Amino acid sequence: MRRACGWIAIVALAVLAGCGDPAPHARAQRIGALDEAIGGPHAIGRVGDFLLENDQIRLVIADTGVDPRDPSKSTLGRVNSTFGGTLVDADLRRPGGDGARGNDQLAELLPGFVFTVINPTTIAITHDGSDGRAAEVTVTGTPADLFQEIYLLDAGLVGTTSLQLTQTYRLTPGKRYVEIETTIKNTSGGAHPFPFLDPTQLHDLGFDIPGIENIQLSVPMGQLALLGGEQDLFAPGVTGFNVRFAIEDSYQIAGGFPAFPGLVVDYVASRGRGVSYGLTIPRSPDNYVNAYAGKYAGQAITPYSMLVPFTYAGVAAIYMVRPPPLLAPGAEFAYTSYFVIGKGDVASVADAIHEIHGAPTGTFGGRVIDQQTSQPVAGANVIALDADDHIVDQIETDASGAFLAHLPPGSYRYTAMIDDRLSTPPAPLTITAGGHAGIAPIEMAAPATLVVEVRDELGRHAPAKIQLLGHFPATNLGQNPRSFLYSLQRGEHQRTTAFDGGDRFIEGVWWTKDGQLSAAVRPGTYDLIVTRGPEYEVAHRTVELRAGAFTAAQIALTRAYASDGWVASDLHIHAQPSTDSDVPLATRAASCAAEGLEVAIATDHNAITDYGPAIASSGLDPWLLGITGMELTTPEMGHFNGYPLRLDPGSTRGGEFRWAGEPPQRLFDTLRGLAVDPERAIVQVNHPRQSVLGYLAQFFVDVDTAEPYTPTGILGVFAPYGDEFRPENFSLDFDAMELVCGKQIEDAHTFRAPDPLPPGPYPDPQPVPG
Amino acid sequence: MFARVCGAIVIAAAVVSEVALAQPADRTEPGAGAPPPAPAAPAAAEPAPAATPLPEPAAAPPVEPRFVWQPFGYLRAQYIAVQNDPNVAFVGRDDGFELQNARLGVRGALDRRVAFEIAIDGAVDERLQVNSTEGKLRVGLRDAFADVTLAGRLTARGGFFQAVFDPEALVSDTARELVDHPIESRGMRATEGYQTPGLPPGRSIGVALRLDPAPQGGGLPVGFELAVQNGADEFSSNNDNDKPAISAAVVARLPRDGWVMAAGRFNPRTVGALPFRQDENDLQASAAFRLAAGPVAFNGGVIVQRTSFPTTGGPIQNAYGGHVQAMLAIPAPLPLAAGYRFAILDPSSLITTDRVMEHTVGAVLAMPRYRMRVQLQLTHVVEQAARELENDRVQLAAELAL
C-alpha cells in the first residue's frame, strides 16, 4: 500500500508540474541577424533596425537610414515614406519562437503633425526591459515634410524650425498594444505659436493665395497610418468598413474651418488575414475633435474621438489632438496614442481598446456551424449591430467556428456573414458588464459548390478565368448597388456591377492555373463565364446552384484568332510585395496566365519581384514567362518601371536603391544600374499625367511644347520645392511611357483587336510560352 | 440500392457456405459452437479473440524467463455499400473495399512485475477535411504504455492509452459481433452520413491507477481505474492547457463473460490558437453491461456528455448516445451468431436536428482454425427530418487475427 501511495504522489507531482508560469516580459534590442526580424508579406525590418517585443506582439522601428560616416550610403526612402525611425513591421508573436515566419502586413506608422513628420537624428533604446518593466525605443529628430507639395501647410501650421520632435514606443509586458508618446519641444528662444503663421504672414512671404486672409486653420496632430493593402479599414458606428465613402459623406456635413473636415471615429481598426491593427487614444483635454465639437455636428463624438480627413491607397491620416496655441521657450507638448495588434479581426483589436479605455465590457461568444452538417464555419464574420443597425464589432470565427469578443454593456443584434453563404437574420443580444453572453450555435445555410473544368482548343487544362455573374431585380435598376447588393459597412466585398447600367453583377471570380475550380458560392442562378484573355471567345452558360449541392460544368475554350508573332504582356503589375496589394505571388501568376498573358513583368512598388518561383511551383511554365522588375515609386516625382532587373535575395526589397531627393536622371540611372543588362534595360514612365504621382504632371510638362516649366500662382504654391524638381533636371532618358493604366478600367473595357492581326514583330513560332 | 444489398447478402452467403463446407466442425477448438464471447478481462487490454484459439499452455517450463513477450494484431477489411443520397453529393459515392484496420502490437512483461504494450494501427483513415470523400491511409500509434504492479492486482499505468470509459473499448475488435461499433462510440464516418465524432474520449498520454477485477471465483470480481491524462485530442503530443483530464471507472465481472461498468470523466479543454484561446469543459459519464442468457447475449451502453463554455458563457451543451444489442447464437458447424442493435446519437442539445438513429441487423461467423471471422451487417439510418438522408448501408467484413 505504501508503494501505491508513492505512485499517487508521483502522479500528483506530475499534474502539478509546470504550474508556476513565469511573468511576461518585454524587451528592446537592435536586430543583429535577419532571422530576429518579424517576417511576413510586407516585412522590411532588417539588421540594424530596432526590435520591440513582449510575450504578445513584436514590432520593428526602422533605423534612421542615414550613415553618419558616409551620407552617400544613406537609405532614405527604404521605408515607404522618406525618413526612417518609423514603425514598419508589426505582428503577433507567433508560436514557434523567433524562427517562426511572421505575418507582418503593416506598411508603416509614423507621427503626423499635420503633414510634418520626424526626420530622425537619433534612435535609441531608452529601456531594454531587462528590469521586467516596459521596454522603450525613442526616436528624436527635427520636423520634415512628408510631401513637399504641401510644405506651405507644414510651414504655416507647424513651423519647421526650432522644434524637437520625439516619439517613444513603449511596450509593456503582457499587452497587445504599444503606447506611443509623441512630444514636441520648442527649442527656440521665443514662444512657438500654433498655427505658426497667420494668413497675413503668408501673404508677406510672397504666397499669393486668394482669400487666405479669411481662413482660420487649426493644427491637428496624430499618426499617419499606412496599414497596408491587405487591411480593410474599420471604424465603429455608421462607418463600419465603409470608411472611404463615409469620409466623402462627412465632407457634406463639415462645419467648416478652423476644424478640418473629415470622419469622426471612436477608434480605428482593420481586418486582415491573420493579423489586424488598430489605433486609439486616451481621454485628453487636448482632444482635437472635442475641441471643435460644434464643427462636427451630425457625427458621434466620444472622449476618444479622432479625425480621419482622408484615406488613399492604404494611407489614412488619423488626427488626435491639437497643441496649445503657444508653446513657451523650452516647453513641451505631448500626446499619447496606442497602436494595437489583433488576430485578423476587429474584435481582437477592439478588445484591447476597451481595456485601454478602462471600459466595462461583457463577453459575447459562441460558435458558427453549417446548418446542414453541423461542421464549424471558419472565417465567418459575426457582426454586432447596435440599436440603430450601426456596426459595433466584427468577430471572425476560428478553425473550430468559435468566436469571442468583448462588448460594452447594452442591447445589440448580431448576424453571421461570409462571402459564400447567405447571412443569418439578425438576432437580439444583451451584454452586461462582467457578464458572459454565450449563445447557442449560429447555424448558417449551406453554400452551393461549383465545380468547373476548362480545356483549351488543344484539350489541355488551360489557365482560365471563371466568373459567376448574377442578376439583381429590375426594381433595383438605377440604384446604388451599395444600397441593396452588398454592404460595405458590414464588410462584404464589392459586387461589381455592369458598366452598361444593366442588372448584372459579379458574384465571384476565380483565376485558375489549370482551368479547374471547386468553389463554395452563395446559392442562386448565375451566368457562368469562362475566358482566357482576348485571344479566346467568351464561353457562357447558365447554372443553377443549390444549397448543399454540387454543380459541375465542363467548358471548352475556343480560340478567337491566331496571334502568331505577337506576345501578350502586361508591363505594369502589382502583387503582395507592393504595400497596397493583397494578392499573393502565386495568385498573381495564375491571374496573369488566366487572362491570357504570355509575359508578366513584375512591377511592385519599391520591391524587386520575381514571379519565376511562383510560376514554377504553380506549373505555369508552359504558359507564362515572368520578368523581374520593379516600379520605382516616389511620393511626388512619379512612378517608373524598370525591367529586367537583378533580384538580390539578401535584401528585404529585392535590391538596394534610393529614391528620396534624387533627380529623374539619377532615378533612371538607378534602375539601369539594377538591371540585368543596363544597356538593354527598359525604363518606363507610368501614369505620367496623374497628379502627384505622375512624372509629367509633377514637372509641369506643357501639353503643347512638351517642355517643363516653373509654375506660378497657386500652382507654384503647391509644387515640390526640392532642387531635384527644377525644370532643368527633367530628363527624357526613359524608354517607354504608359498610355493606358488599369486604374481607368472604364477606358479599357471596350478594347478591340483587328482580325486578323497584322504580322507580328516576333518570329513564328514564338519563342515564348503558351 | 436494394439490388446491391441483395448482392452483398448473396456474396456473404456464398462465402459463409463455402467456408463452412470446407471446414468440418472441430469440437476440440475453444469456443466452437458458441458465439464470439465477450472479453475475459474487462480492461482496455486486448483479450483473446473469440475465434482465435488461445495459445496452448506451456508444459510447465522448468524456468520461466525473466522477460516474456507476445505479438498480437489483426487485419480487418470490408466491402461497404452506402446508398447514394440524391441531394448530398458526399454521401454514398465511394462504395468499395476498405481496410478497416491492420493492427500490430507487442505486449510483454519483465519478472511479472512490469508489463508493457505497444501497438500501431496501420490503416488509420485520415481525411483532409470533414465530410471529405477522399481519405488516405496512414499509420498511427494505438497504444504505448507500461504497467507496474504495485500490489496484487493493483497496477500503475503510464503512457499513451485509452482510459476506461467507452464501453465499446471493453470489447476487443476481434470479439465484436457486428462490423461497426455503435454510433455513440464511433460517430458517423465521412461518406456514410454527416460526419460526426463519437462521444468517448480518444487515447491520451497520462497515468492511471488500476485494479483489475479478479476472475470469477478468484476473488473480488470488481476493479477500478483512476486516470489522469492530458485530455487533448487523440494523437496530440502534449496537453492543450495546464489542466489534466480526470476519469474514474468501476468494472464488475459477471458470470459467463458478462460485465457491468460505469465511468465518469472531467476534461477541461482549451481550443483556438494562441493567444485567443477558449476554455470548454466536458463532463462525461458512461454505463454499460453485457449479459448472457442461454443462447442470447445482451449488451447495452449509454454515454452522456455535458459541455460547458466558461470563457464565452455559452449555454450548456448536452449530448447523449447509447445502444442495446442482442445476439443469438445459432447452432451451426462453426460459431455463428446473428442479432440486432439499436443505437442513437444526439451530439448536441443546442442543435435540434442532429439526432441520428441506427437499426442494425448482422451476423458473424467464426472460423477458429484459420483465426478468421466473417461479418455481415445491414444498417438502416434514420436522421431527423431536416437532415434526412438516404444512407442505409450494407457491410461485409472479413477479419484475420494473429
Residues of A in contact with B354 (CB under 8 A): 374
DSSP assignment letter at A128:
-
> Cα distance from A48 to chain B (closest Cα, Å)?
29
Residues of B in contact with A548 (CB under 8 A): 87-88
In angstroms, the CA A466 to CA A553 distance is 11
> Cα distance from A514 to chain B (closest Cα, Å)?
21
State the pLDDT confidence band at B235, using cuts at 50, 70 and 90: confident
Cell of A60: 520593428
Q: E strands within A371-503? A: 381-385, 391-396, 402-407, 410-417, 427-431, 436-438, 442-444, 448-455, 464-471
B56 pLDDT more than 70: no
Q: Which CATH architecture has domain A360-444?
A: Sandwich (2.60)
Could you report the predicted ipTM of this complex, rounded to two decimals? 0.74
Residues of A in contact with B238 (CB under 8 A): none
Considering chain A, what percentage of its residues have pLDDT values greater than 70?
A: 91
Residues of B in contact with A401 (CB under 8 A): none
Residues of A in contact with B387 (CB under 8 A): 372
Residue pair B107/B142 in contact by the 8 Å Cβ criterion: no
Q: Report whether CATH 1.10.10.10 matches the domain A448-556.
A: no
Cβ contact A440–B244 (<8 Å): no
Cβ contact B276–A404 (<8 Å): yes
> Cα distance from B88 to chain A (closest Cα, Å)?
6
Cβ contact B242–A438 (<8 Å): no
Torsion, Cα of A155, A213, A308, A359 (10° steps): 100
Closest by CA position to A89, among listed A624, A579, A576: A579
Helix (H) or strand (E) run with residue A669 in it: helix A664-673
Q: How many CA atoms lie within 13 A of B374 on its CB side?
A: 19
Residue pair A208/A247 in contact by the 8 Å Cβ criterion: no
In sequence order, which residues have a C-beta less than 8 Å from that of residue A283 and are 6 or more positions away?
Answer: A303, A304
In sequence order, which residues have a C-beta less than 8 Å from that of residue B58 and are 6 or more positions away?
Answer: none
Torsion, Cα of A509, A513, A514, A520 (10° steps): -40
B186: left (phi over 0), alpha (psi -120 to 50) or beta: alpha
Residue of B nearest to A550 (CA): B89
| Amino acid at the residue A465 | K
In angstroms, the CA A643 to CA A682 distance is 5
State the pLDDT confidence band at A77, using cuts at 50, 70 and 90: low
Q: What is the pLDDT of residue A725?
A: 92
Which parts of A44-135 fold into alpha helices (H)? none
A343: nearest CB among B276, B312, B348 = B276
DSSP result, B8-65: HHHHHHHHHHHHHHHS---TTSTTTTSPPPPPSS-SSS----TTSPPPPPP---SS--
DSSP assignment letter at A760:
P
Cell of A376: 464549424
Cβ contact B151–A343 (<8 Å): no
B25 pLDDT more than 50: no
Its CATH class, for the domain covering A569-747, is: alpha beta
State the pLDDT confidence band at B129, using cuts at 50, 70 and 90: confident
B313: nearest CB among A15, A92, A437 = A437
Determine which of A273, A341, A348, A367 to mutate to test the interface with B (most B C-beta atoms within 10 Å): A367
Chain segment A209-266, per-residue pLDDT in tens: 677 777 788 999 999 999 888 899 999 999 999 999 999 999 999 999 899 999 999 9
Cβ neighbourhood burial of A573 (10 Å; 0-12, 13-18, 19+) = buried
In angstroms, the CA B13 to CA B58 distance is 39
Residues of B in contact with A404 (CB under 8 A): 276, 278, 311-312
DSSP assignment letter at B284:
E
State the pLDDT confidence band at A150, using cuts at 50, 70 and 90: confident
A594 pLDDT more than 50: yes
Q: Which residues on adjacent β-strands are paired with residue B358?
A: B343, B381
B10 pLDDT more than 60: no
Largest alpha-carbon pair distance within chain A?
105
Considering chain A, what percentage of its residues have pLDDT values greater than 90?
A: 72
Q: What is the pLDDT of residue B67?
A: 92
In sequence order, which residues have a C-beta less than 8 Å from that of residue B57 and are 6 or more positions away?
Answer: none
In angstroms, the CA B261 to CA B301 distance is 9
Residue of B nearest to A441 (CA): B350
Helix (H) or strand (E) run with residue B343 in it: strand B336-346
Q: What is the pLDDT of residue A94?
A: 85
Chain segment A494-505, per-residue pLDDT in tens: 899 987 889 999
Q: How many CA atoms lie within 13 A of A367 on its CB side?
A: 26
Q: What is the pLDDT of residue A764?
A: 59
B2 pLDDT more than 60: no
Determine which of B274, B312, B355, B383 to mutate to test the interface with A (most A C-beta atoms within 10 Å): B312
Chain segment B275-292, per-residue pLDDT in tens: 778 899 999 999 999 999
Q: How many CB atoms lie within 10 A of CB A493?
A: 12
Closest by CA position to A626, among listed A588, A675, A671: A588
Cβ contact B351–A402 (<8 Å): no
Q: Which residues on adjacent β-strands are paired with residue A61?
A: A50, A87
| Amino acid at the residue B277 | R
Residues of A in contact with B278 (CB under 8 A): 365, 402, 404
In angstroms, the CA A100 to CA A94 distance is 7
Q: Which of A106-115, A262-271, A561-570 has the lowest mean pLDDT?
A: A561-570
B80 pLDDT more than 90: yes
Q: What is the pLDDT of residue B45?
A: 36
B228: nearest CB among A11, A366, A367 = A11
Determine which of A15, A16, A176 to mutate to test the interface with B (most B C-beta atoms within 10 Å): A15
Comparing A360-444 with A448-556, is the CATH topology the same? yes
Please give the distance of CA A582 from its chain centroid, rounded to a whole number: 8
DSSP assignment letter at A701:
B
Cβ contact B278–A440 (<8 Å): no
Q: Please state the domain extents for chain A.
A: 26-328, 360-444, 448-556, 569-747
> Cα distance from B150 to chain A (closest Cα, Å)?
6
> Cα distance from B354 to chain A (closest Cα, Å)?
8
The residue-averaged pLDDT of A422-439 equals 95
A457 pLDDT more than 60: yes
Cβ neighbourhood burial of B262 (10 Å; 0-12, 13-18, 19+) = middle
In angstroms, the CA A152 to CA A201 distance is 12
Residues of A in contact with B209 (CB under 8 A): 4, 7-8, 11
B131: nearest CB among A4, A373, A550 = A373
Residue pair A338/A291 in contact by the 8 Å Cβ criterion: no
Kindly report the average pLDDT of chain A as a whole number. 90
B324 pLDDT more than 70: yes
The full length of chain B comes to: 402
Distances (CA, A) of A471 to A5, A229, A482, A749: 75, 30, 15, 20
Q: What is the pLDDT of residue A650?
A: 83
Q: Which domains does chain B have, with CATH numbers?
A: 2-53+64-401 (2.40.160.10)
A98 pLDDT more than 70: no
The residue-averaged pLDDT of A703-707 equals 86
The residue-averaged pLDDT of B193-214 equals 95
> Cα distance from A378 to chain B (closest Cα, Å)?
11
In angstroms, the CA B4 to CA B10 distance is 10
Residue pair A395/A403 in contact by the 8 Å Cβ criterion: yes
Cβ contact B315–A439 (<8 Å): yes
B370 pLDDT more than 90: yes
Cβ contact A398–B195 (<8 Å): no
Residues of A in contact with B276 (CB under 8 A): 343, 348, 398, 404
A17 pLDDT more than 60: no
